Amino acid sequence: AQSVTQPDIHITVSEGASLELRCNYSYGATPYLFWYVQSPGQGLQLLLKYFSGDTLVQGIKGFEAEFKRSQSSFNLRKPSVHWSDAAEYFCAVGADTGFQKLVFGTGTRLLVSP
Amino acid sequence: EAGVTQFPSHSVIEKGQTVTLRCDPISGHDNLYWYRRVMGKEIKFLLHFVKESKQDESGMPNNRFLAERTGGTYSTLKVQPAELEDSGVYFCASRETGFGPDTQYFGPGTRLTVL
């Protein structure tokens, strides 16, 4: 069965510092991988996705993620964090067959300090 | 283009009462999903519609939950009778294509509190 692990429940980063959020997945075949963000009072917004091809994926708001099959990881990065990035971030994996229901991690809450 | 909308945004009910949540997907999206996040835990899949048909309802917790999508447009999720453990945030998502990789677009969620 598919599973996603986000080992960090909370992370605090200073504004302007770099950020890396970890995501490890378990899936036997080719995964489809997603990062979503939920800002306070908002729905889940897609940051980026990986389906195939280049393993370094660029997303919105200056985020990127790298798919590493050997490590079963899809970590999210941003070189310089802004206060508006404070939110909860979810990694998800979808099956490459069927209608692709998503399996989510437990989320990482990002706090940005001045 | 309007996104996925959900109503209400919040609902507070007593144990034993009935609540109906509504989701309007993006126009033209045949695939509609319901997910739920219980406090502190992961977002979990509940069920999936293709047009008006239930494609996969393996995540529905029990028979107190009833989902419908009459006419293949909006969907409702009814909880009857509600229990304390039903509290959480209920998300709806829609997707245009069928098989294969594609993005699911999520609504803002309905926060359900059962007292």
CB-CB under 8 Å, B35 with A102: yes
Q: How many CB pairs under 8 A join A and B?
A: 66
Residue A53 or residue B10, greater confidence: B10
Most confident of A77-86, A98-107, B35-44: A77-86
pLDDT tens for residues A46-64? 999 998 888 999 999 999 9
Residue-level pLDDT at A77: 98
Q: Which of helix, strand or coil describes residue B19?
A: strand
The answer to whether residue A40 neighbours chain B at the CB level (below 8 Å) is no
The answer to whether residue B107 neighbours chain A at the CB level (below 8 Å) is yes
A94, two tokens: 């979808």
Instruction: Please name the amino acid found at residue B4.
Output: V
Best of B23, B31, B103, B110 to disrupt the A interface (most A CBs within 10 Å) is B103
The answer to whether residue A50 neighbours chain B at the CB level (below 8 Å) is no
pLDDT at A28 over 80: no
Residue A24 sits at the vertex; the CA angle it makes with A23 and A29, to the nearest 5 degrees, is 130
CA distance A67 to chain B (A): 16
CA distance A56 to chain B (A): 18
Distance CA A72, CA A66 (A): 11
Residue-level pLDDT at B98: 65
The answer to whether residue A95 neighbours chain B at the CB level (below 8 Å) is no
Residue-level pLDDT at A97: 62
Distance CA A30, CA A94 (A): 9
CA distance B109 to chain A (A): 6
B40, B45, B56: residue with CB nearest A102: B45
The answer to whether residue B55 neighbours chain A at the CB level (below 8 Å) is yes
Residue of A nearest to B57 (CA): A101
